């Protein structure tokens, strides 16, 4: 459980600005519809729907829009069919990138994702070409005020988590994919609903990049996240503090 990982760079989703809120809401709505369509409309009996609703709350989606999306997914079994497709590839400097999409037209999505990689001097690969460099794990995050570092660590350990890290941004708890539900439920009983709780791709190792490659990679991620079909983007690159300073300048 102990030790400091470099997990801070694994998932890059900006898109929280007001200018991008509509796109984020589109992505969340798709996930809610798909989750409600493939499972029970009750989040207590549908873990995927529960996670989707939590994502919606993170993004401050109005409750009526969440309810409408659930009804859409649960009530219309013929329309709004989205297919989950994972794309994998390499960006500059050999950086691995995983793109998770939810699309109603893969003949549209695949070329757009491939084009984004090509423009970033990268290449789209086959499924499995980079995912072996990652672990698919559960990730939960609590605000720092939720508990002391010691209490959160002990609670996470007792719940079956594999790691718990605390810094100025809060508590980050990771667990095996199969333990995600149990860990989430146990921590909710002690500390309430987490700020974020989802399954993510965590890199086994990270690749430091220089300023030039960092700029290209961030542009690639922005391009991918701007696509309505793209739900999440994960990568294994790490931007050193000295390079971050240059990017912010």
The pLDDT tens digits for 192-228 are 999 999 999 999 999 999 999 999 999 999 999 999 9
CATH among 1.20.870.10, 2.40.110.10, 1.10.3470.10, 1.10.10.200 for 18-75: 1.10.10.200
Q: What is the pLDDT of residue 5?
A: 38
CATH among 1.10.3720.10, 3.40.50.720, 3.30.70.980, 3.40.50.360 for 83-132+208-225: 3.30.70.980
Q: What is the pLDDT of residue 58?
A: 87
Q: What is the pLDDT of residue 16?
A: 40
Q: What is the pLDDT of residue 4?
A: 37
Pairwise CA distance, residues 161 & 138, whole Å = 9
Q: What is the pLDDT of residue 239?
A: 87
Dihedral, CA of residue 116, residue 100, residue 163 and residue 244, to nearest 10: 20
Q: What is the pLDDT of residue 1?
A: 42
Q: What is the pLDDT of residue 140?
A: 96
Q: What is the pLDDT of residue 78?
A: 60
**pLDDT tens digits for 62-98?**
999 999 999 988 876 666 688 999 999 999 999 999 9
Q: What is the pLDDT of residue 47?
A: 87
Say if CB 209 and CB 95 are below 8 A apart: yes
* pTM for this predicted structure: 0.85
Domains in the chain: boundaries: 18-75, 83-132+208-225
Q: What parts of the chain have a pLDDT lower than 70?
A: 1-19, 76-80, 248-249
Q: What is the pLDDT of residue 23?
A: 85
């Amino acid at each position: 459980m102990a030790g400091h990982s470099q997990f801070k760079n694994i998932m890059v989703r900006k898109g929280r600005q007001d200018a991008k809120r509509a796109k984020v809401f589109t992505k969340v709505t798709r996930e809610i519809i798909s989750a409600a369509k493939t499972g029970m409309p009750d989040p207590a009996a549908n873990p995927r729907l529960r996670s989707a609703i939590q994502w919606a709350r993170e993004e401050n989606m109005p409750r009526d829009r969440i309810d409408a999306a659930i009804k859409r997914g649960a009530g219309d079994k013929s329309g709004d069919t989205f297919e989950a497709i994972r794309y994998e590839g390499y960006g500059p400097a050999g950086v691995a990138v995983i793109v998770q999409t939810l699309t109603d037209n893969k003949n549209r999505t695949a070329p757009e994702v491939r084009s984004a990689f090509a423009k970033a001097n990268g290449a789209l690969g086959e499924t499995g070409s980079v995912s072996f460099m990652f672990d698919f794990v559960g990730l939960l995050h609590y605000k720092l005020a939720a508990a002391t570092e010691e209490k959160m660590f002990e609670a996470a350990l007792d719940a079956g988590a594999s790691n718990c890290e605390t810094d100025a941004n809060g508590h980050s708890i990771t667990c095996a994919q199969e333990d995600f539900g149990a860990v989430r439920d146990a921590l909710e009983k002690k500390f309430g609903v987490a700020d974020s709780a989802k399954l993510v791709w965590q890199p086994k190792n990270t690749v430091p990049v220089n300023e030039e490659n960092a700029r290209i990679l961030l542009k690639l991620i922005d391009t991918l996240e701007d696509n309505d079909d793209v739900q999440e983007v994960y990568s294994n690159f790490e931007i050193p503090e000295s390079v971050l300073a240059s990017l912010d300048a």
